[in-house]
Amino acid sequence: MIHPTAIIDSTANLAAEVEIGPYAIIGKHVTIGTGTSIGAHTVIGDWTEIGENNQIYHLASVGPASQDLKYQGEECWTRIGNNNMIREFATIHRGTVTGIGETVIGNGNLFMAYSHVAHDCVIGNGIVMANAATLAGHVTIEDDVIIGGLVAVHQFVAIGRNAMIGGGTMVSLDIPPYMIATSGRIRDTKLRGLNLIGLKRHGFSDETIKKLKTSYKTLFMADLKLPDAIARVRSEIQDCPEVDYLLAFIERSQRGISRG
C-alpha cells in the first residue's frame, strides 16, 4: 500500500508488497524490495538500494547526502540488505567519492532510535546498534556485534565479529573480535574479557571458548609486547579457526588495538 500523500520520484523502483506511509519521500534512483515497509515522514535519499522485508519506522532518514564537507553531490550509494529494522529518527548516510563510494548494510540488523551510520561504513549481519549509538565515517562492523547506547565510534575504526561495546563507550581504536569493551571516560576504552554470553548464544563450543580465553590472557594480560604475544598464541594453539581469525584481525589493524 502506498499512501496518497507519499512523494515518490519517477525513477524509483518499488517491488510488490512495498508499503509507503503518509508523507514519506522516496528519492531518485531508489530501489525497494518486496515486503519492505517505509514509515510515515521517512525520507529515502537518492541512489539507495533497500532489500526485502525491511521495516523502516517513521521519521528515519536513509540515504541522504553525507555530512562530509568534501562531498559535492556526486553519485554515491546506500545499499541495505534484507530483514533489517531501522527505528524512528535513525540516520544512515550514503558513501562518498573520497571513500568507497557507498555505505553498505547487511542483513538482520537492528538500528534503534537516533542511531547514526555515517558515510562509507560497512556493516555486517546480525548487528544491534542501541539508542543514539553513532558511527563516524569509514567504520567497519563485523557480524553479530552489539553496540550499546550512546557509544561513539571514531572514523576508520574496525570492530570484530561477536564483540560487545558497553553503553557510553568512546571507541577510538579497533576492537578485536569476541571481546567486551567499555570505558569510564573519553579515550579510556579497555577490553574487559570475552563476550561469553554472546559467544554461547551463537553456538561457540566450550572448547573454542576455552582456547579464546587462553588467547586473551596471553595477548592482553601477560605483559608481553603484542607481536611476542601473537607468536606465543600461534605456537600454543592450533586447529582453532576462531583464534586464527582473532590473530589475523589484530595483525591487519591499521589504527591499533584497544587492550586491557
In sequence order, what DSSP letters do the residues of 192-247 get, joined into one string? Answer: EEE-HHHHHHTT--HHHHHHHHHHHHHHHHS---HHHHHHHHHHH--S-HHHHHHH
Sign (positive/negative) of CA torsion 113, 36, 110, 25? negative
Answer yes or no: is pLDDT of 52 > 70. yes
Please indicate whether residue 137 is annotated as part of the active site: yes
Marked catalytic residue, from 39, 106, 116, 120: 120
Q: Are strands 134-135 and 116-117 parallel, antiparallel or unpaired?
A: parallel
Contact between 89 and 114 (Cβ < 8 Å): yes
Cell numbers representing residue 20 in the block: 509507503
Cell numbers representing residue 258 in the block: 584497544
Marked catalytic residue, from 95, 137, 160, 198: 137
What per-residue confidence (pLDDT) applies to 189?
84
Marked catalytic residue, from 41, 119, 138, 154: 119
Domain map (residue ranges) of the chain = 7-141, 199-252
Read off the pLDDT of residues 128-180 as tens digits, 9 standing for 90 and up: 999 999 999 999 999 999 999 999 999 999 999 999 999 999 999 999 999 99
Answer yes or no: is pLDDT of 260 > 90. no
Distance (Å, whole) CA 107 – CA 84:
6
Please indicate whether residue 143 is annotated as part of the active site: no
Select 199-252's CATH number: 3.40.50.10490, 1.10.357.10, 1.10.10.10, 1.20.1180.10: 1.20.1180.10
Read off the pLDDT of residues 216-231 as tens digits, 9 standing for 90 and up: 999 999 999 999 999 9
Answer yes or no: is pLDDT of 212 > 60. yes
pLDDT tier, 104 (very low <50, low <70, confident <90, very high otherwise): very high
Please indicate whether residue 206 is annotated as part of the active site: no
pLDDT tier, 183 (very low <50, low <70, confident <90, very high otherwise): confident
CATH superfamily of 7-141: Hexapeptide repeat proteins (2.160.10.10)
